[in-house]
Structure 1
Amino acid sequence: MKRTRIYGMLIALTLVAFNFTGCDDLLEEDPKALEQDFLENLNPGLLEQTIIGVYEPMTRSRGRLWESTVGLGFELMAEYADGGGSQVSWSNYANLLSTTNTSMNQPWITLYEAIGRANVLIDALDKDQNLSATLKDAAYGEARFVRALCYYFAVRTFGKVPLRLTPITDTENTSIPLTEIPDVYAQIVADLSFAEGVLPNTVPSSMAGRATKGAAKVALADVYLTMAGAPLNGGTTYYQQARDKAKEVMDAKATYGYDLITSLETLYSPVLPTNAEDVFSLKFSQAIDQGAFLASYYADSRAKAAGFSVSGNKFGGAISKAPLISGWDANDLRKRFNLYDSYVINGQVVKAEIETDIYDLRFGKYKDPQAPIDTGNGNDFYFYRYADVLLIFAEADNKLNGIPTAAAYDAINKVRRRGYGVDINTPSVTADLAAGLSMQQFDDLVFRERGYEFMGEAKRWFDMVRTNRAVQLISEVRAQIKNKNRKPDPTRLYFLIPDVEIQSNPLAGQ
């Protein structure tokens, strides 16, 4: 059975709750007294619970961050997806990105709550005189890892953001200006580099979901890959760093326990605590209000009988005419694992409930028919898998060398072989890319492969932006669909800073 997600002790949660809520009543608390009480009583047990509390906002049901905004919303921003119904705004880029988006208020609060908790822990560790250096270093590493992931999401979503690195202790330091994008990335790299040096190589399965050295390295590789593209256009330097960091993980995969999992059902199991491909993921459980929503979000009203979830919300699906999907080889096992338009109920093939004028396929990667409630699906949400490592290496190595090397081919072909259900270490005429590709041809195919591999994992929009493909891909889909206004060209690539931040931090609106 997958372990039940652990929440931090009440004292730890009370301590850090005030930091980034933006609510006046919380700022009227006596944070200095709370902080002092926390610092005076810091011990290994309380430290462990407080670390868990740092992670908690990211997996919180109804926190509207990763379980909703990212897992659902950003997946629907992919060119091949459409929200339909009440989720239409996620597909209408012109409106979503160019107007004040109050729907991002709650995700913003949850995001900065995680950052705030990390800052409080870091500050407490700076002042502590009792804990061992070993305990403190590992705790610093986890806090800075979480902070880095949060700012990485923030800078890619909003661009310039308030870079808060110390706790809020009163109302006098809540207003700070937005930090320039390169400076936010510099802090992310600094945090992850520190974490890489102090985190453990592995953690036991009972602690699955905690940061490790390998996770920090993979996150760094991903950050460098993004920095190489838009908006920083860092080019060769960052491609080199992305390639090298990914290769460090590939060369030491036995040390970190990483490898590709051959079974897609195992990889996305709702009950297993972890697996060899899991680099870092948000852990969810088959328990009321401790699970993920995605299996229920994407399924329809017959979700239980069809074997997908306890219930279905019909929050969007995929467009079969989108070039990525229409060109997807039917022999690739990932296609039918990810997408469906019918299912078997009581021995009969039944058409799925779809909005044919909008989308005609449902997403099926996440399945948990034994979930107790729609907030209790046990499917984890991956930030990074070993497949990320291989595809980051393939992309960066090709860009760095100006031509795909044998090592780049081998990395992407391993992922493709798994997709086709053949031995990942044996060359395959069916799965392997053709030899002799140019740098651009190979890059296009790596981008396509990322679309196939990470469908449902909310990476496509960020990939579209960093590779300057967003407008092109959206235009290609618009040319194929009946309702052209469902996929307008984006007028901007970042969300506006949410109202909740501007209200408590007027400098954020300047």
Structure 2
Amino acid sequence: MKPTNFYALLITLLLVTISQAACDKMLDEKPKATLELGQLTPDILDQTLVGVYEPLTRSRGRLWESTVGLGLELMSDYADGGPTQVAWSNYNNIMNNPNALGQPWTTLYEAIGRANYLIVALDANTTLATDLKDKAYGEARFVRAICYFFAVRVWGKVPMRLKPIINSGDVALAKSDIPVIYNQIIEDLKFAEGVLPNKTGAPGRATKGAAKVALADVYLTQGDNQKARDKAKEVIDNKATYGYNLEPSLATVYSPTLPTNMEDVFSLKFSQFLDRGSFMASYWADSKAKAAGYSVSGNKFGGIISVAPLIKNWDVKDLRRQFSLYDTYVINGATVKAEIEPDIYDLRLGKYKDPNAPIDTGNGNDFYLYRYADALLIFAEAENKLNGPAAAYDAINIVRRRAYGVSLDVPSALADLPAGLSQTAFDDMVFRERGYEFIGEAKRWFDMVRTGRAAQLITEVRGLIKQPVRKPTPSRFLFALPDVELQNNPLAN
């Protein structure tokens, strides 16, 4: 059974107390309150670090585990939210709706605020050993970096808060330009890369390898293929140092009970406990979820469109397809048709499975931000764009060999891409491979946007589905800032 974040409540209460004290100061219009954590002992420092991560894995935080994990996936070319989640298909309306991602915004900035608060506390501390302080700085800045990396891709310009908000006078902050935000993200990740450990005994905590893969992803998103390629290669060349490799079994990778695995670079940890789990397994399943072995309950919040080119062309021999997609299941020895919306979608997504969870808020499936497969596919994409596909084949073929259940180290006529592909054709294959490898992991929308393929892919699917109105061509690719920020921060307008 995966460990719970048993310090999360303690840290939440601590920060609530601090926030309340600050609020009292604001109401009284007295001079600025002073944030004070008290004496940072090694134990208190570790507990505080757990609190920095906590908003990201909060079961009702509506961040990666639900609204984003579901919503951004439904914005993929191959997915649809059906009758209950139709808003996610209307790209232009939802991206103009300032409250579409209002709660994730609040949770995201809570994590940023906690990271900032810890950084200030570390600056003031004179008693902790340097190595402990450096590691803590690294973790706090890693969390801040991944939060801003998510924010800049979703909203574009955002207020970049690098200090705690102590009172109402600190709330007003103008939005930073996108290059400025990326520079800060890179600065934070470079710092984290330099001080974090190669491995961690606490699954879900940042490591040197996680910072490197995140940097590679940031560089790839910026179009800096040389730096993306080099950073991904550092991880690949030193995989033994970091303990990384591809897991042979997909069931191991997506297990609801294992605390981690060798493919896990950085993931948000969820547990089979009330309000300590993820919703993902329940969101995608239908009303027969428990009997079918997928989840304790099923919300039927979306499905997969089989005529979408990515799905239509997915080889049925690919184990990832078999593991992730289904239209039938076996109940009491009988094959039963899964519940679908035949005029909207005809496949269910079953990548996340946890029929033994105590409740739909207690699914134990972790949510990956980065796996070792990320490093391999980032390298393949960047290397090809720089030098053509010759040296990029091995990285993508290793991923494909795992997908076909063959040896990772032996060339395979079944799994390997055909030799002699042009640079453009190989780039298309890497993009396709990312779609297969990361289906259900909320990366497709970002890939579609950063490669300039979003409008084209959605237009293609619109021409194939029975209700074209459900897939309008997007006219914008960034969400509107939420009201919660605009109403409290006059400079954000």
Question: Normalising by structure 1, what TM-score?
Answer: 0.94
Give, in angstroms, the shift of residue 130 of structure 1. 1.1
Q: Which residues of structure 1 form unaligned runs of 5+? A: 229-237
Which of 202, 219, 222 is the equivalent residue of 1:224?
219
Of the three residues 434, 445, 451, the one matched with 1:461 is 445
Match of 1:438 in 2: 422
- How far off is 1:290 after superposition? 0.3
Structure 1 SS opposite 2:150: helix
Counterpart residue identity of residue 111, structure 2: A
Sequence identity percentage: 67
Per the alignment, in what secondary structure is the counterpart of residue 66 of structure 1? coil
Q: Which amino acid aligns with 2:71?
A: G
Q: 1:397 is matched by which residue type in structure 2?
A: E
Which 10-residue stretch deviates more, 275-284 or 5-14? 5-14
- Give the aligned residue type for 2:389: P
Indicate the SS of the match to 1:375.
Answer: helix
| Aligned-partner residue type, residue 35 of structure 1 | L
CA offsets 1:134-153 (integer angstroms, 9 cap, x no match): 11000000000000000000
In the alignment, does 2:131 pair up with 1:134? Answer: yes
Secondary structure at the counterpart of residue 226 of structure 1: helix
Aligned to 1:231: none
In structure 2, which of residues 42, 47, 56 is the aligned counterpart of residue 44 of structure 1? 42
**8 Å Cα contact 2:217/2:228 also seen in 1:** yes
User: Which ranges of structure 2 fall in alignment gaps of 5 or more residues?
Assistant: none
CA distance in 2, matches of 1:31, 1:389: 49
Partners of 1:8 and 1:51 within 8 A in 2 = no
Contact 1:176 1:508 in 2 (8 A): yes
Shift of 1:16: 6.4
Cα displacement string for residues 55-78 of structure 1 (whole angstroms, at most 9, x for unaligned residues):
000000111111112211111110
Q: How does 1:488-503 map to 2 (within 5 A)?
A: 488-503=472-487
Contact 2:270 2:365 in 1 (8 A): yes
Conserved? CA contact 2:33–2:167, under 8 Å? no
For the residue of structure 2 that corresponds to 1:58, the secondary structure is helix
The aligned counterpart of 1:167 is 164
Aligned pairs for 1:45-444 within 5 A = 45-97=43-95, 99-204=96-201, 207-228=202-223, 238-401=224-387, 403-405=388-390, 407-444=391-428
Structure 1 SS opposite 2:322: helix
- Kindly state the Cα deviation for residue 6 of structure 1 after the two structures are TM-superposed: 3.0
Name the residue aligned to 1:6.
6
TM-score by length of 2: 0.97
Query: One-letter code of the match for 1:174?
Result: V
How far apart in 2 are the matches of 1:349 and 1:274? 33
Task: Give the aligned CA root-mean-square deviation in angstroms.
Answer: 1.7
Query: What do the CA deviations read for 1:27-82 (whole angstroms, capped 9, x no partner)?
Result: 6499965623x1x3222111111100000000001111111122111111100000
Query: Aligned partners of 1:56 and 1:285: how far apart in 2?
Result: 13
In structure 2, how many angstroms separate the alpha carbons of the residues matched to 1:454 and 1:7? 31
Q: Does residue 449 in structure 1 map to residue 438 in structure 2?
A: no
The amino acid of 1:485's aligned partner reads: V
User: Which residue identity lines up with residue 84 of structure 1 in the other structure?
Assistant: G
Moved over 4 A (4+): 16-19, 23-34
- CA distance 1:16–1:141, change in 2 (3 Å): farther
Structure 1 residue 504 and structure 2 residue 492: aligned? no
Q: Within 1, Cα distance between the matches of 2:298 and 2:288?
A: 7
Distance 1:8 1:284 in 2: 13
What amino acid sits opposite 2:478 in the alignment? Y
Q: Give distance in 2, aligned partners of 1:156 and 1:502.
A: 19
Distance in 1, matches of 2:384 and 2:199, equals: 30
8-17 or 359-368: bigger deviation: 8-17
Contact 2:25-2:33 at 8 Å conserved across structures: no
Task: Answer whether contact 1:284 1:380 (CA < 8 A) is retained.
Answer: yes
- Change in Cα spacing, 1:350 to 1:9, as seen in structure 2 (3 Å) is closer
Question: Could you report, residue by residue, the CA deviation over 1:413-458 in whole angstroms, capped at 9, with x for unpaired residues?
Answer: 0000100111111100011001011110000000000000000000
Amino acid at match of 1:101: P
Do 1:246 and 1:389's aligned partners in 2 also have CA atoms closer than 8 Å? yes
Segment drifting more, 341-350 vs 23-32: 23-32
Q: Does the C-alpha gap of structure 1 residues 18 and 435 become closer, same or farther in structure 2, counting only changes over 3 Å?
A: farther
1:143-173 per-residue CA deviation (whole Å, 9 max, x = no partner) reads 0000000000000000000000001111111
The Cα of 1:484 is off from its aligned counterpart by: 0.5
Residues 364-409 of structure 1, C-alpha deviations (whole Å, 9 max, x = no match): 00000000000000000000000000000000000011x102x310
Conserved in 1, the CA contact under 8 Å of 2:213 and 2:232?
yes
Distance in 2 of aligned mates of 1:393 and 1:356: 39
Supply the AA of the counterpart residue of 1:225. Answer: L
CA deviation after TM superposition for structure 1 residue 111, in Å: 0.4
Tell me how far apart the structure 1 counterparts of residues 27 and 392 of structure 2 sit (CA, whole Å). Answer: 56
CA distance in 2, matches of 1:15, 1:475: 47
| Alpha-carbon distance in structure 2 between the residues aligned to 1:386 and 1:450 | 13
Change (3 A) 1:27 1:346: farther
CA–CA distance in structure 2, aligned partners of residues 25 and 69 of structure 1: 32
Report if the CA contact (8 A) 1:9-1:49 is conserved. no
Question: Residue type matched to 1:275 in 2?
Answer: N
* One of 445, 457, 467 as aligned partner of 1:473: 457
Note the alpha carbon deviations across 1:260-292, whole angstroms, 9 max, x for none.
001011111000000000000000000010001
Q: Which amino acid aligns with 2:58?
A: R
**1:224: how far off?**
0.3
Secondary structure of the residue aligned to 2:104 is helix
8 Å contact kept, 2:25–2:32:
no
State the one-letter code of the partner of 1:484. P
Alpha-carbon distance, 1:13 to partner: 4.5
- State the Cα distance separating 1:84 from its structure 2 match: 1.0
Contact 2:284 2:348 in 1 (8 A): yes
Deviation at 1:9, TM superposition (A): 5.6
8 Å Cα contact 1:18/1:31 also seen in 2: no
| 1:100 to partner: Cα distance | 2.8
Paired letter, 1:247: K
1:15 aligned partner, one-letter code: L
